[in-house]
Amino acid sequence: RKSCEMAEVVVVGSAVMDLIAYMSDLPRLGETVIGSDFQKGFGGKGANQAVQAARLGARVSMVANVGRDAFGDETLANFHASGIEAGCVTRSAALPTGVALINVDAAGRNTIAVVPAANFELTPRHVADADTTLSGAKVVVCQLEVPIETTVAALRAGRAHGATTLFNPAPARTDLPAELYGLCDVMAPNETEAELLTGIAGDPAAAADVLIKRGARAVAVTLGEAGCLLVTADGRRQHFAVDRVQAVDTSGAGDSLIGSLAFFLARGLPLDQALPRAASVATVSVQARGTQRSFPVRQDLPASLFE
């Protein structure tokens, strides 16, 4: 078993290197466009969510798999610099660290292609090896950029240890095992993911109802600039608005919200208080370029969010 330290938030998921190109317009099929800027950054939905939770002040442990390459070295250094416990991060001898190729246009819209690579070698065995760390978690966070059986194992472990299980079904896929829904204390898709999971377009509340019927205890649908919607198994429906801002780059905004939500839930806030606060943090993140580099730290945010 890995010697991972105890943490209040444990993220089981992906770590990739983001390669980000900025341009006036996104290329159409077969088109080459000239970019105006390039940045390399740290990404992967799991790592992003871990970094945002840590920046707000959570004690965070990451369970992930990277390559034995320069990107892997840099990823581990970034975890340490971010204050994230990385004793449960393993390294693949066969596959490189994952990468994400991101194009961003002048309006902040993006297209993303992810090559998971070493992330696909994160297995249920890694989850079992991290059981001591998972046993002390208040919140366990998962996504869909690692093998689905690993995500199920992590949610199962979180539930068994009495943690709040927070599942972000991204990138969306339609073949989720039936068991997975029932392991989710909070399922948090965006509007597109909710539609893909349920086949219901244009009605996020109805889509959330379907996910509740499948077993999720609560569903938080993120709606971009329209805020977010909370639907719970006991019949509550609440919409939370967010401040209108000029978006510069929406890359990672969903991950900022999930990581923030994990922080506020770990600090004991009920979901209907944690979710709007998390959405407020994510609104700050879209006002700067990059993914993790755009995530705010606690000192940059209104003190009222933490009262």
Would you state the structure tokens that stand for residue 148, as one six-digit string? 């689905």
Of 52, 58, 45, 55, the residue nearest 13 (C-alpha)? 45
Residues with active-site annotation: 255
DSSP, collapsed to helix, strand or coil, labels residue 131 as helix
Task: Kindly give the interhelix angle for 271-285 and 253-266, rounded to the nearest 10 degrees.
Answer: 140
Whose structure tokens read 């449960």? 88
Task: Find out whether the peptide bond into 96 is cis, omega within 30 degrees of 0.
Answer: no
* Residue 144, phi then psi, degrees to nearest 5: -125, 35
Residue 263 · residue 58 · CB < 8 Å: yes
- Which helix (H) or strand (E) covers residue 54, if one does? helix 45-55
Residue 186 · residue 231 · CB < 8 Å: no
Whose structure tokens read 């927070």? 166
The strands making up 228-232's β-sheet, listed across from edge to edge, are 85-92, 60-67, 9-12, 139-142, 164-167, 186-187, 218-222, 228-232, 237-240
